[in-house]
Amino acid sequence: MRQVDHFIDGRAVQGTSGRFGDIFNPNTGEVQARVQFATDDEMNRAVASAVKAQPAWAAANPQRRARVMFEFKRLVEANMDELANLLSCEHGKVVADSKGDIQRGLEVIEFCCGIPHALKGEYTEGAGPGIDVYSMRQPLGVGAGITPFNFPAMIPMWMFGVAIAVGNAFILKPSEKDPSLPVRLAELFLQAGGPEGILNVVHGDKSAVDAILTHPDIKAVSFVGSSDIAHYVYSNGTANSKRVQAMGGAKNHGIVLPDADMDQTVKDLIGAAYGSAGERCMALPVVVPVGKATADELRERLIAEIDTLRVGISTDAGAQYGPVVTAAHHAKIAGMIQLGVDEGAELVVDGRGYSMQGYEKGFFMGPSLFDHVKPGMKTYDEEIFGPVLQIVRAETLEEAIALPSNHQYGNGVAIFTRNGPAARAFASKVNVGMVGINVPIPVPVAYHTFGGWKRSAFGDTNQHGMEGVKFWTKVKTVTARWPDDHARDSAFVIPTMK
């Protein structure tokens, strides 16, 4: 059986722990490979490699680091088909979604190609008599990323792209559910000219996470996953004097006003709710129609559109989405659907009985739709992370705004309307970190920044863009004095800049 190795100091390293994680083919339900979890010694070896390699990488001029990023981008694009198929066979998302996953990661790599500009500091000439003041951004040393299963290309590139471009070395601990693609990315980075030891991939479970959070040579940690674990990572990382950004769960809402373009809105909602089987932190699993007429029309249109959805194996070019990642996750989604019924919501479309002919053991789940869901129901309060859309009815825009604003999660939200003033007021008032106006999945472009509010994010700095540059660097400010000859004997005290 195929085994996924660690990637340390520029080469594959077989683990020695004797502890493994199974890697399933979600289409067939079969175990297709194993990944061996790291020992503390293997984690220490990866960090030691990073510590050794980082000073020379940081000393390289930023143009050279940018050239490596350019070549890495070219290699990923040249190998797109191979990478997308590898991703799909472990995750289960259809190949088109896998290519989108990779492409969104590459957009951050494109931003990193301009890192010389992003690293420019500030300069003040003549801040005092013969005194100039300037600042510079310098790398932290060694950073680490702990990434989830749902975007095994995009999120690692969000993290290591910026961290490495500014001069750090990096330890990546990807999800054990689909770890092969992150290893291939590290191989391509090496092929692109990245030095050995600058990008290491170490596999593991909680013990590997704890090793990252406590290792004294790891200076910063970036995490994406569930909110409970995000809080754990943030609390333990900061307790060990690390800089931490920890992105958690989500329950994104879509507000539909009566004047919305209903044809476009329905298509947007279907794609945002069911694409990638709903396994996205920026999925849109809650729709809030304003007014009974809007809700009734939207419900009927959604039912009709759901009936046209095609679920298929991940290599089916005509499928809208594929299987979920594991049998355990399939069972969790099914249990949440039953809980919704028990809580009193109306299950309008039930996707639990879906089976794919010839792939009966695959982890397929049909689309489900609930109506009359209310705050306080566990299925509304918690993240389902599957192909389930919930209708929560509101009478007014103010009531609709209050729903995402008061929810424990604050990752993303969208409004669908032709009313500019209403959309502008919504964007200003809603207590959520990322807002879409007629955009169902408001993931910012790479040169802006990604991050939610409330229990969707812990830490003060967001992912990628200039926020990412700030997170992975520290500022040094220099005050320089070059006195003239006639002032050489004068005392120099703390300057007041008079």
Provide the annotated active-site residues: 281
State how far the alpha carbon of 283 is from the alpha carbons of 33, 121, 380, 404, 412, in Å.
29, 37, 14, 14, 9
Decide: 147 and 177 in contact? Cβ < 8 Å.
no
One-letter amino acid of 155: I
**Is the CB of residue 240 less than 8 Å from the CB of residue 213?**
yes
Task: Report the alpha-carbon distance of residue 476 to residue 482 in Å, rounded.
Answer: 19
Cα–Cα distance between 64 and 10 in angstroms, integer? Answer: 19
Q: Report d(CA 11, CA 227) in Å as an integer.
A: 34
Instruction: Give the end-to-end CA distance of the chain in Å, rounded to a whole number.
Output: 74
CB atoms within 10 A of CB 448: 14
φ, ψ (nearest 5 deg) of residue 348: -80, -40
CA distance 343 to 337: 10
Q: Give the CA radius of gyration of the chain.
A: 25
